[in-house]
Amino acid sequence: MTLLTAKEVSSILRLSPSTVYDLERRGELPSVRIGQRIVRFLAEDIERLVRERHFESEK
């Protein structure tokens, strides 16, 4: 099980870290909470999301 930070996820999805947190708060990105303040994302969940939703950057 590999846990990723919001910064790492933002790099994969080509989004800003604040957008990653917004998506997490809205329930659109699955996350793992460690305590009340620490949020991490399972690499497997992000990989599956990329395959299913085809997140791509808008250039």
Radius of gyration of the chain (CA): 11
Amino acid residing at 25: R
pLDDT, position 58 = 44
The C-alpha atoms of residue 46 and residue 59 are separated, in whole angstroms, by 21
Give me 46's structure tokens.
């992000």
pLDDT, position 59 = 41
Is 41:3 a contact under the CB 8 Å cutoff?
yes
Question: Per-domain residue ranges for the chain?
Answer: 3-53
Q: What is the pLDDT along the chain (59 residues), one digit of tens a residue?
A: 999 999 999 999 999 999 999 999 999 999 999 999 999 999 999 999 888 876 554 44
